[in-house]
Amino acid sequence: MGRKPTPAADPVLSPDPVPNREIRRARVEVSFDNQSLLGALYGQFDANLVQVENRLGVFISARGDLLEIEGPEDAVARAREVLKTMYDRLALGQDLDGSAIEALIAMSNEPTLEGIISGKANDKAPIMIRTRRKTIVPRSAKQIDYMRSLARDDIIFALGPAGTGKTYLAVAQAVAQLITGSVQRLILSRPAVEAGEKLGFLPGDMKDKVDPYLRPLYDALYDCMPPEQVERRIASGEIEIAPIAFMRGRTLADAFVILDEAQNTTREQMKMFLTRFGQNSRMVVCGDPKQVDIPGGDRMSGLADAVEKLEDVEGFGTIRFGAADVVRHPIVGRIVEAYEGPIE
């Protein structure tokens, strides 16, 4: 490789806070034992190495199983950590794509990065979720807190914009617990409210009417389990996907219960939902408080009301995501920030 790194459109590195200070440079070498993983590590035409170069402002030279990293001292240390973590992911059979690399780069200045893949970070809860189809690891620093909360707390409020992994990680944790037998049922629910549209305008029976609103939950399930297993468990009742209105009058014991788009519940609906909690159960309530579509526009969101009342109650966990935690394409985070204002 004889490339010169090109400037990144959205660089991770911050400007030197001390003007005219001499920036210390460094050069380190990193080697890898399993040469069969190098193709996936480097990427087609070294695309993965180019991504690390451009995002961290370093120069990487590859000679077989040996990488030489040169640049500002701090950036070189971060690049070395990112490349080692990329290799560890591949060694464990995990996926490595552009968005995964982007997330590792974003987390590379976090003290918790070391040990994420091995699950040896300084917390008793392992920082990974194993499902039938994949092993899922955190893709942002906030996801580390969220995954620990999913393994620890009885009821979790996950708040923040789209693309931060709120619902996906909750579904993954629910599938993992269903597979291991920790819970007997998986219940996924959403309020059937979307931008003022009414169910009556849609053709078909009740299932046909509500399925479009619940499609994101199906998508997350299919990503964590083979489709035939999802369909079989739905048919047997082990997995239930239904609007929140169907929860009334029930006690949800031995279940992992997820409420998505919770910002569109009323206070009455939220109280009803939370009081369904039963023995050996776990609830995750996901929503974006800034995207409320309750008809009328003047009703308080049940999600905001519940967080205000219950955030400090024992057994509840609250995780707040921001634009910086978006793990889709980097431009999604910039879109969220443009709409909602600078990240505090």
309 and 242 housed in the same domain:
yes
141 and 60 housed in the same domain:
no
Q: Which residue has the higher pLDDT, 298 or 229?
A: 229
Write the CA distances from 184 to 14, 16, 236, 305, integer angstroms.
48, 54, 11, 30
203 and 235 housed in the same domain:
yes
Predicted TM-score (pTM) above 0.75:
no
> Which of 32-36, 42-46, 79-83, 206-210 has the lowest average pLDDT?
206-210
312 and 173 housed in the same domain:
yes
149 and 98 housed in the same domain:
no
Does some domain include residue 305?
yes
Domain that holds residue 226: 129-340
User: How does residue 144 score in pLDDT terms, banded at 50, 70 and 90?
Assistant: confident
68 and 134 housed in the same domain:
no
142 and 285 housed in the same domain:
yes
Does some domain include residue 162?
yes
224 and 168 housed in the same domain:
yes
153 and 80 housed in the same domain:
no
Query: Is pLDDT of 152 > 60?
Result: yes
- Domain tally, the chain: 2
Q: What is the CATH number of the domain that holds 30?
A: 3.30.1370.10
67 and 201 housed in the same domain:
no
Query: Is pLDDT of 155 > 90?
Result: yes
Does some domain include residue 2?
no
Write the CA distances from 2 to 63, 71, 77, 129, 312, integer angstroms.
11, 14, 21, 39, 55
164 and 74 housed in the same domain:
no
Span 42-54, pLDDT tens digits: 999 899 999 999 8
Q: Can you say whether the dihedral through the CA atoms of 112, 165, 162, 274 is positive or negative?
A: negative
100 and 136 housed in the same domain:
no
Q: Which residue has the higher pLDDT, 79 or 15?
A: 79
Query: Is pLDDT of 157 > 90?
Result: yes
Contacts of 192 (CB under 8 A, 6+ apart): 199, 209, 210, 213, 243, 244, 245
- pLDDT given at position 310: 93
Does some domain include residue 4?
no
Closest C-alpha to 30, from 15, 41, 21? 41
